[in-house]
Amino acid sequence: MAVAEKPARRGRRGSMFATLLFKALLRRGGRAGVAAASIVVGAAVVAALMSLYLDISIKMSEELRAFGANFYVGPAVAGGERGIAEDTYAAVLREIPNDRMVGASPLLYGIVRLDLGPAVMAGVDFRGLRQISPYWQVEGSWVGVAFDERNAMIGRRLAESMELKVGDTVTVINRERTQNTRLIVKGIVDTGAAEDEQMFVNLSLAQKLLNLPGRVDFAMLSLIAQGPEADAMATRVNAGVPGVEAKPIRKISQSDGQILDKIEGLMALVALTILIITTLCVNATLSAMVAERTPEIGLQKALGAENRAIVSQFLAETALICVAAVAVGLILGFGLAQVLGQAVFNAWVTFRPAVVPLTLIVSLAAALIAAILPVRGAIGVVPARVLKGE
Amino acid sequence: MDALAEGMPMEGCATYGAPARDVIEIGGLYKRFGAVTALDGVDLTIRAGEFVAIMGPSGSGKTTLLNILSCLDTPSEGRYLLDGIETATLDGKAQAVVRREKIGLVFQQFHLIPYLSAVENVMLAQHYHSVADRDEAMAALERVGLGPRAQHLPSQLSGGEQQRACIARALINEPAIVLADEPTGNLDEKNEELVMALFQQLHAEGRTLVLVTHNPELGARTQRIIRLNHGRVEA
Ligand SMILES: Nc1ncnc2c1ncn2[C@@H]1O[C@H](COP(=O)(O)OP(=O)(O)O)[C@@H](O)[C@H]1O
Ligand SMILES: [Mg+2]
């Protein structure tokens, strides 16, 4: 009522808030920098450990998904006749104890022409392939019968480019155009990997089309054997069957998985320790910042700022420092993940986008926890006391 | 006089030039800090449009009284009506609302935010009141003769200029009353005169002003002097 009528104010609610936010931060650049540096360190360690953990876990499951096979058998020497003989493959299988064998399939690759263009064709043993590829997603169904030369399976992307659906018929012609056969698409395969571009037919048919009777390029086996046991199995096959090279496939193998399981707790502990140290550092810095700004806060209150306004300003400043620091921390953390990945798993760590929000959330939580006491200090400022003259 | 004031209808009471509306009405006010009684039963009425000086020796309770008047502090006992609002019962949030709606403060130490320009300092008061409006803030600075210095930081302004920015800030939300605690205490004579002239001009415009000072010459240039001694108003 005492306020005289005057024209309504023009201005945006947020703009003064933003001005105050940025200028206050710039003014305390040094302290803001110290707080940011602690958060960078915390975020980097968290991002590194999280990257490592996520990536190794994903790689392990991806490899399981892509290939249940953990054993490779191929020709010992290059040159000479292509691949290995089917009989040799049979001899390899005889070396493997029955109770260790999950499944096995020979593979023979070649280029063929389909109705709409060329494609990579793989000759396989469908029953064995199914056993070593438990994670393949198949639309339609697997080719079940052995020696089935009427049906084929085809990769998702190849099927799309050839405009083929389950139940369609496709004509397969060999490169020399001397052979052709009509096949029914029994199943469409989706693995997210190279198989999506390939076509799968029975080995005997592939041998005919490619004119390679009795040959296979190599074989993939799925064995119940890990680490040293798998190595022993390879030695036994190599000794027992001349002309082949058998080796366990191991990029990120089960043994790495065991390492991951073992250091999982350690990594969590390290991350937690670093986060606690970060929180303490940020807390100390913000407390000093609030102490320095006591007269300012007193003035803001005297001007009629409510506690809510003071709290949101400090939290926004903290969040801003934190977001900037996390951006830097993520980059450093990804570098650190490579060092750790090489040292522990002998593998490069792929960037996993999930690390970004996770690191941000964890760092923001740490920074906001660190801000609780300083912000309470800011709320506690008594303007009458700090604005006193004299 | 009280009866007259209370009998007046609040509606239709213009801010400027109204003869008898009480802006401040204090009765039996005590403020104790532990064993120290800073205000010892103060009764006081200030009407709209008055220009009042509060004077008294150091430690007599002038600042304590002004803090209570500006709702920065609450009395230990007693009644304080500000522009018709009973303030003793207000919580912290409501006090903040009263401060930004009713009070304009001028400090001896200016208390401008050091990293905001003069105009941004004025806009800050608008911001906490409602919304910052640069044009309006600029106009307020021009009125105190600071238009050309509006973009300067406080550190780039003289003491007198800082105090004028502070006065522009105190006036920006059209407060019911402007309270100034030793506003010229840190100024040289020339700037003291400038600020005092500004206060007199504001008074002439119809504002209600309370000036705490220990300088009798300044006190003499107000309409009325309230003398404090040991926390009591001298007759
Ligand atoms: N926050 C406080 N705590 C304790 N004593 C105080 C406080 N504020 C003021 N006082 C005391 O109250 C009395 C009045 O102080 P003040 O109002 O500052 O006087 P003035 O402004 O007139 O110099 C003084 O004795 C002072 O020491
Ligand atoms: Mg004083």
- How confident is chain A (390 residues) per 10-residue block, as mean pLDDT? 58 85 89 93 95 82 62 85 92 89 92 91 94 86 85 95 94 87 94 89 94 93 78 90 86 62 83 92 94 94 95 94 96 95 86 94 95 95 80
> Using a 6 Å cutoff on CB, does residue B162 contact ligand 1?
no
* Alpha carbon distance A147, A167 (integer Å): 19
Residue B38 CA, ligand 1 centroid: distance in Å: 6
Test mutation, B95, B115, B184, chain A, max A CBs within 10 A:
B115
Of B95, B124, B9, B21, the C-alpha closest to A299 is B124
**Contact: A20, B15; criterion CB under 8 Å:** no
Q: What is the pLDDT of residue A62?
A: 61
Give residue for tokens 């100034």: B180
Name the closest residue on chain B to residue A381, using Cα atoms.
Answer: B72
Whether B115 has its CB under 8 Å from any CB of chain A: the answer is yes
Ligand located closest to B229 CA = 1
Residue B59 CA, ligand 2 centroid: distance in Å: 7
- Hey, what are B222's tokens? 């107000």
Give residue for tokens 């009866």: B3
Of A262, A259, A278, the C-alpha closest to A333 is A278
Residue B115 lies in a domain: yes
Query: Among partner residues A7, A24, A305, which is closest to B128 by beta-carbon distance?
Result: A305
**Crossing angle of helices A307-340 and A13-27, rounded to 10°:** 60
Query: What CATH number is associated with residue B112?
Result: 3.40.50.300
**Contact: B132, A300; criterion CB under 8 Å:** no
- Which residue type occupies A284? A
Q: Which chain B residues touch A305 with a CB distance below 8 Å?
A: 96, 100, 128
Residue B121 CA, ligand 1 centroid: distance in Å: 29
- pLDDT in 10s for each residue of chain B, 235 residues: 343 333 334 443 444 444 558 999 999 999 999 999 999 999 999 999 999 999 999 999 999 999 999 999 999 999 999 998 999 888 889 999 999 999 999 999 999 999 999 999 999 999 999 999 999 999 999 999 999 999 999 999 999 999 999 999 999 999 999 999 999 999 999 999 999 999 999 999 999 999 999 899 999 999 999 999 999 999 7
* Alpha carbon distance A327, A263 (integer Å): 26
Q: State the residue range of the domain holding B139.
A: 2-17+49-73+90-233
Angle at A165 between CA A160 and CA A170, to 5 degrees: 95
Whether A292 has its CB under 8 Å from any CB of chain B: the answer is no
Give yes or no for a contact between A123 and A203, defined as CB atoms under 8 angstroms apart. yes
**Contact: B131, A389; criterion CB under 8 Å:** no
* HEC letters along chain B: CHHHHHHCCCCCCCCCCCCCCEEEEEEEEEEEECCEEEEEEEEEEEECCCEEEEECCCCCCHHHHHHHHCCCCCCCEEEEEECCEECCCCCHHHHHHHHHHHEEEECCCCCCCCCCCHHHHHHHHHHHHCCCCHHHHHHHHHHCCCHHHCCCCHHHCCHHHHHHHHHHHHHCCCCCEEEEECCCCCCCHHHHHHHHHHHHHHHHCCCCEEEECCCHHHHHCCCEEEEEECCEECC
* Alpha carbon distance A85, A238 (integer Å): 15
Shortest Cα–Cα distance, B100 to chain A (Å): 4
Nearest CA to ligand 1 atom 3: B33
Q: From the alpha carbon of B65, which atom of ligand 1 is closest?
A: 17
Task: Spell out the domain ranges in chain A.
Answer: 15-62+258-388, 70-248
Count of structural domains within chain B: 1
The neighbouring-strand residues paired with A180 are A173
Q: How high is the ipTM of this complex?
A: 0.89
Q: What is the pLDDT of residue A136?
A: 84
Mean pLDDT, chain B, whole residue set: 90
Angle at B23 between CA A296 and CA B64, to 5 degrees: 45
Test mutation, B46, B72, B177, chain A, max A CBs within 10 A:
B72
- Hey, what are A64's tokens? 């399981």
* HEC letters along chain A: CCCCCCCCCCCCHHHHHHHHHHHHHHHCHHHHHHHHHHHHHHHHHHHHHHHHHHHHHHHHHHHHHHCCCCEEEEECCCCCCCCEEHHHHHHHHHHCCHHHEEEEEEEEEEEEEECCEEEEEEEECHHHHHHHCCCCEEEECCCCCCCCCCEEEEEHHHHHHCCCCCCCEEEEEECCCCCEEEEEEEEEEECCCHHHHEEEEEHHHHHHHHCCCCEECEEEEEECCCHHHHHHHHHHHHHHCCCEEEEECCCCCHHHHHHHHHHHHHHHHHHHHHHHHHHHHHHHHHHHHHHHCHHHHHHHHHCCCCHHHHHHHHHHHHHHHHHHHHHHHHHHHHHHHHHHHHHHHCCCCCCCCCHHHHHHHHHHHHHHHHHHHHHHHHHCCCHHHHCCCC
Q: Which chain A residues touch B133 with a CB distance below 8 Å?
A: 9-11
Q: Which chain B residues touch A3 with a CB distance below 8 Å?
A: 15, 101, 173-174
List, in order, residues 6 or more apart from A95 with CB less than 8 Å away: A236, A237, A240, A241
> Using a 6 Å cutoff on CB, does residue B58 contact ligand 1?
yes
List, in order, residues 6 or more apart from A282 with CB less than 8 Å away: A35, A38, A39, A318, A366, A367, A370, A371
Residue B36 lies in a domain: no
Residue A388 CA, ligand 2 centroid: distance in Å: 7
Give yes or no for a contact between B160 and B189, defined as CB atoms under 8 angstroms apart. no
Ligand located closest to B182 CA = 2
pTM listed for this prediction: 0.70
* Alpha carbon distance A292, A360 (integer Å): 28
Q: From the alpha carbon of B212, which atom of ligand 1 is closest?
A: 21
Residue B24 lies in a domain: no
Q: What is the pLDDT of residue B118?
A: 97
Question: What size, in residues, is chain B?
Answer: 235
